[in-house]
Structure 1
Amino acid sequence: MQSLFLGIAALACPVGMGFMMWMMSRGQHKDRDDGTHQVEQLRAEIDQLKAERAHTGR
């Protein structure tokens, strides 16, 4: 029984590290998608401001 607990304890660290790395990589992919969306929104806003600026003659 003691060897079972030692085996579980020995596997807890690598399994936990793998899980944390997986969770962090999921977060990076999510941020990347949101960043692309934000860039598109900012470009659209810049285009809109340029059109307004051209319309007012400044």
Structure 2
Amino acid sequence: MINKSFAVIMFGLLLMILLSVLIYFEMRSPIIYILLAVGFILIGVGILMGFIKMVSEGK
């Protein structure tokens, strides 16, 4: 089963790839840039979730 941290990271990556394609094809709007920042944040949150899980299992 896919754990939550992996799912959050993958969702963030897919969101960033999709939005990068939209920016490349000149479909720029403030919403796209806000969602791009959300994608970066999701990747960071996913990494932190995985790290916390790894550290807590090591006890």
Query: Which of 15, 26, 33 is the equivalent residue of 2:40?
Result: 26
| Runs ≥4 residues deviating over 3 A | none
CA distance in 1, matches of 2:57, 2:32: 38
TM-score (norm 2): 0.51
CA distance in 2, matches of 1:40, 1:21: 28
Give 1:15 deviation, angstroms. 1.3
Count of paired positions:
32
Letter of the 2:35 counterpart: M
Give 1:24 deviation, angstroms. 0.4
RMSD: 1.0
Q: RCO greater where, 1 or 2, for CA within 8 Å and sep 6 or more?
A: 2
More helix as a share of residues: 1
Structure of greater Rg: 1
TM-score (norm 1): 0.52
What is the identity percentage for the equivalent residue pairs of Structure 1 and Structure 2? Answer: 0
Match runs of 1:25-44 below 5 Å: 25-44=39-58
Q: Which ranges of structure 1 fall in alignment gaps of 5 or more residues?
A: 1-13, 46-58
